[in-house]
Chains A and B, each alone.
Chain A
């Protein structure tokens, strides 16, 4: 039970400080996000033009936190080893902030999750109160983006606490154990989604058959000899009768792999082998 609670880490929940301010308003910016397997809300951000880095939106974090190992590649030397202002923090979708006070630290929760490869992406830090309080943010997991409406109010920030430890030493130690375990299990390499293969063809359903409705000139399907009007019967040995089924077969194939089609042209069955490309 204990380790699981530590693993879930109510990421954030640390530090102490002061109170709020007032309102105004332009249009909402649409920020793409991804929900991890651990149910953390991940957005991408570039810092001083570098990245993108994966950050968790966390109202439980009173500050913005970045992993310590990012300081060096970002060319930042934090004060007292922990604090620095980020000159430019740009979130994917078009939110740009300047001079954002940030704490560089190693959080046991992040190390635990990264070590076990649980989130499905490396998490580089947390976006907490000083950023979140400057927007009205709509979290709607039925949508592909979050709406961030900039607000005029500038939140009071927590007083910096040079050096201060985050969480108890005991919990910190637990994070390290989790990370060690992840390495032992060979889980430290994080899942990278491979690009799918590109054929350059379109399909339409006609008389319950899949008919090739378009072939992009010069694309892999064209080079393999596929023509508009061909009827696709099988893809990699599986009968396909719907565009969805065809899509599922193709989704598992990466560039340079072969998509083998059994087609009918005129009254003749033929095999067409498409060497998938990298287009999209």
Chain B
């Protein structure tokens, strides 16, 4: 009876879990002798094609053989036009890897000589799966298991080429200061008197979050929430990521002792 109840409970929990999260899809990959990962992907429902899985690639690249077999040009005519046609990219209707599917993905069609060179060593390789595909998922890479897992996370990546072109256009314009959202506050000032790791806390404002937590003038601030603070710019960048009103791990060195404080930040500017 009790067993059955537990089993039922477990089932219910599993079902509830399925309702709340989109299912993760796994795909096997191969490790090529060149130490690249290769996946088997369907493009526009055609294939599969053997493609290199590359977190360092801002684009999805397909060679002209894939373009032909997946009828990329013909299918693209029925799809919304990419915003920037200057960049030589086109859309494919779908890319599917082991049950994980992304629709309307920008791709570049190009016979890249480096890919051809790799193909000579490892056999046919027809392109590269890069950021425009994997950024749409929580993507987990497990080398020993030779497994990739894709869990939809609602992230819709910007187009790398467009953002780069924009960055090029904006060059020469007056650089605006990065608008760091100042929401959480520790209440300290720091200085960088030497080249040692971290910065020295030169002021702890009375009544501030830092003072309440026990930080002191002269402490060496090493990390804010796991981020290095080796310069003032580092500190501000790390502080900008702090949640307001919550505990943040502040790592310091005091004399010879390393300590970590949980500082509950103030919301402030």
Chain A residue nearest in CB terms to B61? A10
Residues A181-202 near B (CB distance < 8 A): 185-187, 191-196, 198-202
Chain B residue contacts of A14, Cβ below 8 A: 114
The digit string for A13-57, where 1 denotes a CB below 8 A from any CB of B, is: 111111111110000001010000111110010100100100011
The interface-forming segment of A76-84, A98-106, A128-136 is: A128-136
Chain A residue nearest in CB terms to B55? A59
Find B35's partner among A1, A52, A62, A252 (CB 8 Å cutoff).
A62
Chain B residue contacts of A253, Cβ below 8 A: 177
Find A39's partner among B31, B157, B171 (CB 8 Å cutoff).
B157
Chain B residue contacts of A57, Cβ below 8 A: 55-56
The verdict on A218 contacting chain B, using a C-beta distance below 8 Å, is yes
* B114, B163, B233 pick with most chain A CB within 10 angstroms: B114
Chain B residue nearest in CB terms to A92? B228
Chain A residue nearest in CB terms to B88? A1
Nearest CB on B from A52, distance (A)? 6
The verdict on B155 contacting chain A, using a C-beta distance below 8 Å, is yes
Chain B residue contacts of A7, Cβ below 8 A: 164
Nearest CB on A from B100, distance (A)? 13
The verdict on B76 contacting chain A, using a C-beta distance below 8 Å, is no
Asked whether B36 lies within 8 Å of A13 as measured between CB atoms, the reply is yes
Asked whether B171 lies within 8 Å of A117 as measured between CB atoms, the reply is yes
* A41, A61, A216 pick with most chain B CB within 10 angstroms: A216
The A interface is mostly helix, strand or loop, or mixed, namely loop
The verdict on A8 contacting chain B, using a C-beta distance below 8 Å, is yes
Chain A residue contacts of B57, Cβ below 8 A: 8, 10-12, 60
The verdict on B118 contacting chain A, using a C-beta distance below 8 Å, is yes
The interface-forming segment of B12-20, B65-73, B129-137 is: B129-137
Nearest CB on A from B25, distance (A)? 15
Asked whether B140 lies within 8 Å of A62 as measured between CB atoms, the reply is no
Chain B residue contacts of A41, Cβ below 8 A: 55-56
Asked whether A132 lies within 8 Å of B58 as measured between CB atoms, the reply is no
Chain B residue nearest in CB terms to A217? B206
Q: A39-B160, A218-B206 are in contact. Are A93 and B114 (CB under 8 A)?
A: no
Asked whether B155 lies within 8 Å of A40 as measured between CB atoms, the reply is no
A137 vs B121: C-alpha distance when bound (angstroms): 27
Asked whether B153 lies within 8 Å of A142 as measured between CB atoms, the reply is yes
The interface-forming segment of B41-49, B90-98, B184-192 is: B184-192
Chain A residue contacts of B118, Cβ below 8 A: 13
Asked whether A187 lies within 8 Å of B179 as measured between CB atoms, the reply is no
Chain B residue contacts of A217, Cβ below 8 A: 205-207
**Chain B interface category by residue count:** 35 or more
Asked whether A128 lies within 8 Å of B143 as measured between CB atoms, the reply is no
Asked whether B160 lies within 8 Å of A8 as measured between CB atoms, the reply is yes
Chain A residue nearest in CB terms to B134? A139
Q: A196-B182, A278-B189 are in contact. Are A39 and B177 (CB under 8 A)?
A: no
Nearest CB on A from B154, distance (A)? 7
Q: A40-B58, A252-B176 are in contact. Are A18 and B33 (CB under 8 A)?
A: yes
A126 vs B138: C-alpha distance when bound (angstroms): 22
Residues A106-161 near B (CB distance < 8 A): 116-118, 120, 126, 128-129, 132-134, 136-142, 144-145, 151, 153, 155, 158
Chain A residue contacts of B185, Cβ below 8 A: 200, 202, 216, 280
Asked whether B56 lies within 8 Å of A60 as measured between CB atoms, the reply is yes
Asked whether B34 lies within 8 Å of A194 as measured between CB atoms, the reply is no
Asked whether A16 lies within 8 Å of B34 as measured between CB atoms, the reply is yes
Chain B residue contacts of A144, Cβ below 8 A: 241
Find A280's partner among B61, B144, B227, B239 (CB 8 Å cutoff).
B239
Asked whether B180 lies within 8 Å of A193 as measured between CB atoms, the reply is yes
Asked whether A59 lies within 8 Å of B37 as measured between CB atoms, the reply is yes
Chain B residue nearest in CB terms to A244? B181
A39 vs B232: C-alpha distance when bound (angstroms): 26
Chain A residue contacts of B164, Cβ below 8 A: 7-8, 37-38, 118
The verdict on B5 contacting chain A, using a C-beta distance below 8 Å, is no
The verdict on A251 contacting chain B, using a C-beta distance below 8 Å, is yes
Q: List 24 A-B contacts (CB under 8 A).
A: A4-B87, A5-B108, A8-B58, A10-B52, A10-B54, A12-B54, A17-B35, A59-B56, A136-B141, A136-B143, A138-B138, A139-B141, A141-B157, A142-B155, A168-B114, A171-B114, A187-B172, A196-B177, A200-B205, A216-B185, A251-B179, A252-B176, A254-B177, A279-B186
Q: Which residues of B contact A (CB under 8 A)?
A: 31, 33-37, 52-59, 61, 87-88, 108, 110, 112-115, 118, 121, 128, 130-131, 134-135, 138-146, 153-155, 157-158, 160-161, 163-164, 167-168, 171-172, 175-183, 185-190, 197, 203, 205-208, 226-228, 230, 232-233, 235-237, 239-241, 266-269
